[in-house]
A and B are shown apart, each in its own frame.
Chain A
Amino acid sequence: MTTATVSRWDRFRESFFWYSFRRDKVAIISSLVLLLMVLAAIFAPLLAPANPYDLAQINIMNSELPPLGLDGADPSFPLGTDAQGRDLLSTILYGTRVSLMIGFGAVVLQSVLGILFGLLAGYLGGKVDAVLMRIADVQLSFSTLMVAIIVGAVFKASFGNLMFGEIAIYMLIFIIGVAEWPQIARTVRASVLAEKKKEYVDAAKVMGFGTRRIMFRHILPNTLSPIFVIGTVQIANAIISEAALSFLGLGMPETQPSLGSLIKSGFDYIQSGSWWITLIPGMVLVVLVLVINLLGDWLRDVMNPRLYKG
């Protein structure tokens, strides 16, 4: 029996969330790896030996140097260099940064859209629901990639390569975010439909609260756990989508490479023996996506109320 007020930190430490996290090795390792990668990406300018965006630091004579441990390696380029002579380690650090930014950005955008439309559709129902969900259905019936390719191609054609390079990161966030909102909207709608039948919503109506207050203050906080789960997995999906677009040449330009465009740039040289330009960023991408997905799986298990009720 605790009578004193409990701090949020204590509450968290006593929670099931923290308990199951401590007991799950996969979750601990995944989150450590992810944390490491995120930190490395954030502090890339401090950690990276070179700045791949600075053309003055690049020497074309250093191109296609292999990583340490192979013949012809240069100790100042631990993971070797790419075809333009950029240090691969630095480029990967910056590339991870770009990939993560796009991943997070796209998920923030699709969450905002998805939550808003999902709430409206679920709570108001009727015609609003029908219209919004049909739009979502139509969008889901196109592949994300296809929409992104069309939009990306149109933008690239109309702005030109140079201009596109500058706004590419925002473009990608926008394209991926808009293409994927129905996923979140559907989840939100489903939980809103369940929540709005509960008596606390009736109690709020009886108090005379307006629709907006009920939707955002009362229902929304109770639909957040599934959004967390989906959001996590969607970050991984967005990073993959970005990589795929970049690989197709519709993503980040090679001057500010993401992991995807690094893989692509190395792909042209894979026949000439410079496999590392593709393989190393590829592995980084796989690990990044894998740990995010593993965390997402774990979150889904923890947040499923049926599993820990009682």
Chain B
Amino acid sequence: MTTSPLVSIRGLEKRFDLSGSLLEQITFSGGRFHRKQEAVHAINGVDLDVQKGEALCVVGESGCGKSTLARTVMGLISPSVGEIHYQDHRIDNLERKESLPYRRKMQMVFQNPYASLNPRMTIQQTLEEPIRFHHPDWPAIEVRNKIHEVMESVGIDRDWGSRFGHEFSGGQRQRIAIARALSVDPEFIVADEPISALDVSIQAQVLNLLMDAQESRGLTYLFITHDLAVVEHFGTRVAVMYLGRVCELADTKTLFSTPRHPYTQALLSAIPKLEDDRPNHIRLKGEVPTPVNLPSGCVFHGRCPHANDRCRRQIPELIVTDGGNQVACHAVEEGRL
């Protein structure tokens, strides 16, 4: 509440239309024509503020809308409803020319390092293009220095410049992808599952690299992941998402020590830990419903051990709890949990 957030997401909703053109929507049943429209409700009303300098982690299982959220913030997808603001400027409805300054300030690291580098471009070309594009007036020597600087900061050899992406391992490619994002000196980086495609020993390397970059460049992260162990280590605050809604938002320490939402509790207990040799997690009933036909009321009620009638009818809003954290759960609000 003291300073304005760096990035704020307001009332975001995103639907992907499934039903196609008008002709494909018309179905014939029971002797009559019907117009049937179906959509995937990927995000259903998300409000999030990313404060400068923090690493806000968004956690959730597949289909919870976390990747859609990342892509909407980066403008790869336009929101159905809602707004994205960057330092109090609305950026989701800008023309390409107007959005260029924000492209430099906001960058993205992708999940799959095998697909995020153009296979026909050398490392040199991959890193050079963004710099030349955003700084057309820079002399060649300055461009080269910049390339060397980012290569050094992610720990890749200068000599690699003339090689192609496919000659490198996954971890090295992810370093190159991070170097590309850093090459335009961003303030804010959206990282969409940046380590989930990598091996364990490589994950640590990339996580350390991201933390180093945050420290030395004062970066702010929106970090999307399904891996709670990473969140505990990396995140300043955590937003837990389920079926397109934020169900709990708390600083990392609080969330891991005292999770409030039943879904967060189940998620936390499901992480396979090294210490215990028998699983003892909270069992959830059933599986995640499809985001096509959302359940009424609380989206989690079908799997929740504490669900009652109210949960089936009424959508819970995020309420502020005693510690200043937010949770969207009737049971918590009523003091049942």
Contact = CB atoms under 8 A, between A and B. Distances in A.
**Do they bind each other?**
yes
B118 A200 contact: yes
A208 B76 CA distance: 10
A211 to B, nearest CB: 8
Contact of B76 (A4, A200, A205, A210): A205
B159 A203 contact: no
Interface stretch (B79-87, B109-117, B240-248, B323-331): B109-117
B180 A203 contact: yes
A218 B100 contact: no
Contacts of B74: 206
Contact of B96 (A4, A210, A221): A210
B225 to A, nearest CB: 16
A208 B99 contact: yes
Nearest to A198: B115
Nearest to A197: B115
Contact of B115 (A4, A200, A208): A200
A115 to B, nearest CB: 15
A217 B100 CA distance: 19
Contacts of A210: 96
A199 B67 CA distance: 13
B116 A209 contact: no
A271 interface: no
B130 A207 contact: yes
A6 interface: yes
Interface in B95-130: 96, 99-100, 103-104, 106-108, 110-112, 115-121, 129-130
B103 A207 contact: yes
Contact of B110 (A199, A209, A213, A222): A199
Given A198-B115, A222-B118, A208 B162 contact: no
Contacts of A5: 159, 162
A70 B96 CA distance: 76
B184 interface: yes
A42 B133 CA distance: 43
B177 interface: yes
A203 B103 contact: no
B180 to A, nearest CB: 7
Contacts of B110: 199, 202-203
Contact of A202 (B76, B99, B121, B130): B76
A210 B75 CA distance: 14
Given A206-B74, A208-B100, A208-B134, A200 B108 contact: no
Interface in B36-72: 71
A199 B111 contact: yes
Nearest to A5: B162
Per DSSP, are chain A's interface residues mostly helix, strand or loop, or mixed? helix
A199 B100 contact: no
B108 A203 contact: yes
B74 to A, nearest CB: 5
A63 B242 CA distance: 88
Given A5-B159, A222-B120, A206 B107 contact: yes
A205 B107 CA distance: 10
Contacts of B129: 207, 209, 217
A206 B133 contact: no
Contacts of B133: 207-209, 213
A204 B159 CA distance: 24
Interface in A174-219: 198-200, 202-210, 213, 217-218
A3 interface: yes
Contacts of B76: 202, 205-206
A237 B116 CA distance: 37
Contacts of A218: 118, 121
Contacts of B104: 208
Given A206-B76, A207-B184, A200 B96 contact: no
B96 A202 contact: no
Contacts of A221: 118, 120-121
Contacts of B130: 207
Contacts of A206: 74-76, 103, 106-108
Contacts of A209: 129, 133
A200 B117 contact: yes
A203 B177 contact: yes
B109 to A, nearest CB: 9
Nearest to B125: A217
B94 to A, nearest CB: 11
Nearest 10 interchain pairs by C-beta: A208-B103, A199-B116, A221-B120, A199-B110, A199-B115, A200-B118, A198-B115, A206-B108, A5-B162, A207-B130
26 contacts: A5-B162, A198-B116, A200-B117, A200-B118, A200-B119, A202-B71, A202-B76, A202-B108, A202-B110, A203-B177, A204-B118, A206-B75, A206-B106, A207-B129, A207-B130, A207-B184, A208-B99, A208-B100, A210-B96, A213-B133, A218-B121, A221-B118, A221-B120, A221-B121, A222-B118, A222-B120
Interface of B: 71, 74-76, 96, 99-100, 103-104, 106-108, 110-112, 115-121, 129-130, 133-134, 157, 159, 162-163, 177, 180, 184
Given A199-B115, A208-B134, A221-B118, 16 more contacts: A3-B157, A6-B162, A198-B115, A199-B116, A200-B115, A200-B116, A200-B119, A204-B118, A206-B74, A206-B76, A207-B184, A208-B103, A208-B133, A213-B133, A221-B120, A222-B118
